Structure 1
Amino acid sequence: MRRRVIIASHSMLSKGMAETLKFFEGEDAEFVVITAYVDNKPIEGIIEEIFADIPDEDEVIVLTDLMAGSVNQKFMPRIARPHTHLLTGMNLSLAMALTMESTDSYLTEERINQIVDEARNQVQYVNVALQALSEDDEDE
């Protein structure tokens, strides 16, 4: 079993995400990157080509930018494939956690939900978070 990671977005977000992941994880990190709608190629054909080359036993993690976006919608039929996970609203914390997870076994739904929760907690309004920290310090 091999884990494949597809990073797909409108325009260049996915390319930047992949480059940033390589910065942290090293140049050997492998991702399939889809920068949709920048070259007038239909995304359906790109997705078809990618999945045609993936053996059934391989796990596929797809990260997209927007839940209601067309890029995410085009991947939805693929979740019927075994060991295929579609996650949207990607951020760097989510992408790093998923791509650095052990490949000794398939990811479980429970583990993916834990990773999503952790990544969700990384989204913070820093003004308020710092204010709360200041108030905690004053209370001590």
Structure 2
Amino acid sequence: MNQIIVATHTTLATGFEAFVKFFMPDVANLHVINAYVETPEYEGELRGVLDALPAEDEVIVLTDIAGGSVNQKATLLMGEYGFKLVAGINASLLLELVCRTDPISDEDLAAAVEQARGQMVFMNGLALDDIDDSDEL
């Protein structure tokens, strides 16, 4: 099974969890860490979540900011735990990964990241004729 860990500064991770639970109330493979909220010891929190997951499961850690302290500490643990790490989480990427039941290869993850990047659109830069008002979000 794929296990997804969302680790962010302050309570952003909880917001992403609420977003996923809106669509999937019974989600079981999503774990969140609100770094530096309960304790300044984020690395210990991450280790605790990682240690509690089944060893045979694929683990993907999503962080908020590349180069931020949350991502830096996760980067240091990648080799030890063997998880995949993506910085710059967004809602479409998270939802896609949580819904995937098949194993996620490095190539699959790279493609999912590219697709998620495409979801970021400066809407004012689009011509109004390009927007189909029959499509609802």
Misfit runs of 4+, over 3 Å: none
Q: What is the match of residue 134 of structure 2?
A: none
DSSP 3-state at the match of 1:60: strand
Q: In 1, distance between residues paired with 2:117 and 2:129? A: 19
1:1-140 alignment runs, 5 A limit: 2-24=1-23, 26-30=24-28, 31-80=30-79, 81-82=81-82, 84-103=83-102, 106-130=103-127, 133=130
Q: Looking at CA atoms only, which structure, 1 or 2, has the larger radius of gyration?
A: 1
CA contact (8 A) 2:8 2:70 kept: yes
Structure 2 length normalisation: TM-score?
A: 0.86
TM-score by length of 1: 0.84
Identity among equivalent positions (%) equals 34
Unmatched segments (≥5 aa) in structure 2: 132-137
User: How many residue pairs align between the two structures?
Assistant: 129
**What is the aligned-residue RMSD (CA, Å)?**
1.7
Gap regions ≥5 residues in structure 1: 135-140
Displacement of 1:79: 2.2
SS state of the match for residue 9, structure 1? strand
